[in-house]
Amino acid sequence: MQRIVVSGVGVVSSIGIGKEEFWRNLIKGKSGIKKITLFDTSRFKRHYGGEIKNFHPEKIIPFSLLSVFPRASCFSIFAVKEALEDAKFEIVRQKTRYSLKNTKKRIAIIIGTTMAEANVLDISSERIIKKRWDEISFNLLLNTFSPSIPRNIGYFFKIEDKNILIPNACAAGNFALGYGYDLLKKGEIDLAIVGGAESLSRGAFQGFHKLYAMAPRLCQPFDKNRKGMILGEGAGILILEREKDALERKAFIYAEVLGYGMSSDAYHMTIPKKEGIKKAIEKALEEAKISIRDVDYINAHGTGTIQNDKAETGAIKEVFGSFYKKIPISSIKSMIGHCMGAASAIEAVACCLAIKEGVIPPTINFKTPDPECDIDCVPNEARKKRLNIVLNNGFAFGGNNCCVVFKSYS
């Protein structure tokens, strides 16, 4: 019956490295969408993304390990360190790595992703094409394996307990959070480092481009003239633990996790189904033991595609009935892009900060209301509101849906 709480957060995004800069720019409605420089987009019709431009992993990762850890792992390591320190854990540097000082806790690292270190495949394939075989190193090959991100986190922080990767695509961050919540509830672990990570890659960009799912320049969730998603990258990390452990350490508690709900559409690989989304939301509310009138804010999946925004709005209408118009529902993907496996994790961080600060992030780039998406999408400007219950939606290809409920802590 222990309450599970969020005691630390860390984030790397295109609008901010670290929670302070991220939050400051989030409520300003700043866009992190710019021309992509990580790889050549000249042969594509789309050229923009939420690329992280001023990230300096060498500030915490020694040069000897930078060649070992690819981009998404570096994002994750930075966010994990911030989250652990935010949760009042003492991090000690030991030569090239770090460790948690004076802790005998059973720790689980649970990371969600869509394509793991996909940019490693970009590098490898390019070197193969150019017949530069000798440049395909052993470390490069090691990081093509799916569990590389949580493995690299565990290695860097000398955490030798549970190490899990959840590859449930664009809802993976929420799935990771839910699994960490379950392990804590069952008493199998004492601390869960959960979240999601993703790096922009030519492979992912090409895939979404081929689906005709990407907008030319702006992501406009719920706008009548929306033209699709914009890809992004980054990492979002949350520290979950039992209430008593956080209080003993005098950590600040951002929120309580009340529960989560999952569903599978079993319908189509790329087309969302309203009924599946509805089921995930209903299950989350049921596990959290709350009513539809308790929800103060919904952080929408809100990709900016025609089908996703329509399906999500339809599901919300059916779950909340006539009450849906009274709930603010915004999408931060309008600012940071769709960060795939990191998306719902970064959005979970945003939910916790919104509860703490009493401010709802806006949906930017909103110009023309859509009768089929007639929600209060908090258009263009942040809004002050005391938040008690927040719902975080995460949906993925294959109809994998996961929604998490947070509650302000008292």
Using only the alpha carbons of the chain, give its radius of gyration: 20
Confirm whether 301 is a catalytic residue: yes
Fold annotation for 4-248: Peroxisomal Thiolase; Chain A, domain 1 (3.40.47)
The structural domains of the chain, with segments of one domain joined by +, span 4-248, 259-407
Considering only CA atoms, which of 359, 356, 353, 309 is closest in space to residue 331? 309
Give 300-326 pLDDT, tens digit per residue. 999 999 999 999 999 999 999 999 999
4-248 and 259-407 in the same fold: yes
CA dihedral for 404, 395, 39, 21, sign (positive or negative)? negative
For residues 155 and 97, is the Cβ–Cβ distance under 8 A?
A: yes
| Choice among 74, 219, 338, 402 that is catalytic | 338
Exposure of 259 in the CB half-sphere (CA atoms within 13 A): 14
Confirm whether 56 is a catalytic residue: no
Distances (CA, A) of 330 to 23, 302, 372: 15, 8, 16
- Residues of 127-136 as b/e, b for ≥16 C-beta within 10 angstroms? beeeeeeeee
| Choice among 301, 351, 377, 402 that is catalytic | 301
CATH number for the segment(s) 259-407: 3.40.47.10
Question: For the chain, give me the number of helices (H) and strands (E)?
Answer: 13, 17
Considering only CA atoms, which of 316, 344, 330 is closest in space to residue 171? 344
Considering only CA atoms, which of 332, 316, 327 is closest in space to residue 236? 332
Distance, in Å, from the CA atom of 305 to the CA atom of 254, rounded to the nearest integer, reads 32
pTM, to two decimals: 0.95
CA dihedral 268, 276, 375, 218 (to 10 degrees): -30
Q: Which strand (E) or helix (H) includes residue 61?
A: none
DSSP-derived secondary structure for 99-155: EETT----EEEEEE-SSSSHHHHHHHHHHHHTT-GGGS-HHHHHTTSTTHHHHHHHH
Joined together, the tokens standing for residue 251 give: 């950590």
* Through-space distance between the first and last CA atoms of the chain, rounded to whole angstroms: 16
Joined together, the tokens standing for residue 72 give: 């998404």
| Choice among 170, 351, 377, 402 that is catalytic | 170
Considering only CA atoms, which of 67, 233, 232, 72 is closest in space to residue 151? 72
| pLDDT of the chain, 410 residues: tens digit per residue | 789 999 999 999 999 999 999 999 999 999 999 999 999 999 999 999 999 999 999 999 998 888 788 899 999 999 999 999 999 999 999 888 999 987 889 999 999 999 877 666 666 566 566 666 566 666 666 666 668 899 999 999 999 999 999 999 999 999 999 999 999 999 999 999 999 999 998 888 988 898 889 999 999 999 999 999 999 999 999 999 999 999 999 999 999 999 999 999 988 888 899 999 999 999 999 999 999 999 999 999 999 999 999 999 999 999 999 999 999 999 999 999 999 999 999 999 999 999 999 999 999 999 999 999 999 999 999 999 999 999 999 999 889 999 999 999 98
For residues 165 and 389, is the Cβ–Cβ distance under 8 A?
A: no
Question: How long a stretch of residues is the chain?
Answer: 410
